[in-house]
Every structure is written in C-alpha cells, then in structure tokens.
Amino acid sequence: MSKGSFPRFPRSPRAGRSGRPAGFRTSVVVAVAALVPAGVAGWLLWDAEADGGRKAPVAAASSALPGASPASRAPSRQPSPEGKEPSAPGSSAPEGARSPSPAAADDGPLPDGPLKGKVVVVDPGHNIRNSEHTAEIDRSVDIGTGRKECDTTGTSTDSGYAEASFSLDVAHRLRTILRAQGAKVVLTHDGERPYGPCVDERAAIGNQAHADAAVSVHADGSAVGNRGFHVILPASVKGGRADTAPIVGPSKELGVRIAGHFVRVTHSAASNYIGGGTGLDTRGDLGGLNLSTVPKVFIECGNMRDPQDAALLTDGAWREKAAQGIADGITDFLDG
C-alpha cells in the first residue's frame, strides 16, 4: 500500500498544534494496517478509551507477515525497558534530575518545514557503558509509584549487538529525519555520558525542553519465538511527583500514530506476545513515562533474542526504515 493510500487515524480534539489535550473523546476506535509485501492488508482494532487502562482488541483480522511466528494473543511478562528486576526500596542515593547535557542539545540552524517550531525529545534506551558503572545504575530512584533502578544495561542479540547501540543508532537516524522537517531535536544522551541518564532524569529532560512529543527507543529481550514491535503508553498514574492525567490522552494518540506508520514503513508485525496483537501496551511502572509532563511513549522495535527479529535489528537498512516509521508517526501527530 502506498503512503498516499494509508488511512488517517481519527484524531482527538486538541488546542492548536502543540499536541496538548483540549478535551479528548472518552472512547474511540483506532486501526493499524498490518501490511504484507503481496498487498494483503488486515486491521487491528482496539478500544482506545482515554482512561489509560489496558484494553483487549475489539477485533483482530490481521494477516501474518512472512516469517512471523503464529500470534499468541495472551500477553506475557517482558523485561522492563528500564530494568530486569526492581531495585530494593529505601536507597539513600541522591536523587533529582540534572540539566540536559549540552552535547545532547540540537542547537544548529533548522530548515523550514512542517515541524518548524516543534520540539521533539528522543531518548535512546540505556547506555553502552552502563555495565562499567553497575553501582551507579543500580541505585534506586523515585518514579512516583515506587522506586526503581537508575538504569540498566539493556539486552543484546546472541551475536552481541547491544540494545544500547541499536537505540542510539536509531535515535541518530530519527534526529536527522526530524531536523530535515524543521524540528528541534533533543537527545537525552548522545553516548557522551559514562552511564545513564537515570530514568527520572530522562523524563526531566523532556519536561525541561517543553517537548511537543517524546519517544524512548528500545528493543526487547524476550524469548525465542516472541516477535514484533510494540509501543508502550503511559497508564493513568498519580503518586509523589507522578501525575500522568494530562498526558495519557495525547500520548495514546502519539503511540497509535507511531504504531501505524511503523507497520507501514517497516512491514513489521505487531508483537505476538505483548498487547494482544494491537501493538500497544499500557504500563504504570516506568519512570520515564510516570514522571513525564509531555506526551511520551516507548517503542520496543523488536525482540533481540529472537533470530528473525535480530536479523532485522542488526540491519542498517532496516534501522533506517524503523527511524522513518517513528518519524512519520511523530510528524502525523504534530502536523495535524
């Protein structure tokens, strides 16, 4: 299916073009086209109530992509993008977010384009040097609903290609695409830091930038046979410094648009192990979402521990498609 024939998702009303909510519909139904090279298209439909809760698909008639394993519609527990196991509470380590690193700021001249005046924060998951600073990344930080480790090492393919390397590579490609459309892009880090940033600081960087949209780039580390991408949306959370009520609606809209364009550009299937085949998952245990005050989502671009997904994730041409799909979703969200 060509880009010109890609269906437009229904939008929730908002004030202006900033991506901020101005009274979202209580319930809409959205659809993602699951494309196949032969031109057979299916639809994944799900309830998109603005309460931020986990919803099962209301219809599923998606054709499987070549090479995809049969879909298992029962969601299973996956490693957290922010850590494999929760840290013990009560750490006395210092907390609070630092100012964004100057190396991560995009301060060069920007061309005119559809995203002129927009600010996008791109959060490359993990850091390739986290493993050299285990004490620092293991300290716990407050995420509103509890405490979690500052950061983790992430996962890798069986051949040793690290999630941190993947996420930074896609982030660089995504920055290039968005800048060409006039957006100011801020990375939460650009590989210049010895570790981290911590998950609370990652959220604070987007908040301090007054981002119109923020996306955290990851790849999952699940079991062999678990395939496909999923976008993680913030749940409705209130506690401590966390209050996601203002961002749940626009974040869901951002996530739906990224999911739809990711399918269109990469021809990847929605996850067969998370989200009930919708490509969407809602979580309230991630500090990067809980502490955000701007529309934000995570995207798990595939499963690094599955050989078929790993073959895609390690391919530079596919990573360019992944970045393009994410960028198209962000543009669709901001330029409407």
- The catalytic residues are 300
Neighbours of 240 (CB within 10 A): 14
The one-character DSSP state at 106 is -
Rounded Cα distance, 299 and 224, in Å: 19
Q: Is 208 left (phi over 0), alpha (psi -120 to 50) or beta?
A: alpha
Q: What residues contact residue 296 under an 8 Å CB cut-off, 6+ apart?
A: 121, 203, 206, 211, 213, 214, 215, 216, 234, 247, 251, 254, 288, 289
Angle between helices 316-334 and 163-180 (to 10 degrees): 50
Rounded Cα distance, 160 and 170, in Å: 17
The one-character DSSP state at 174 is H
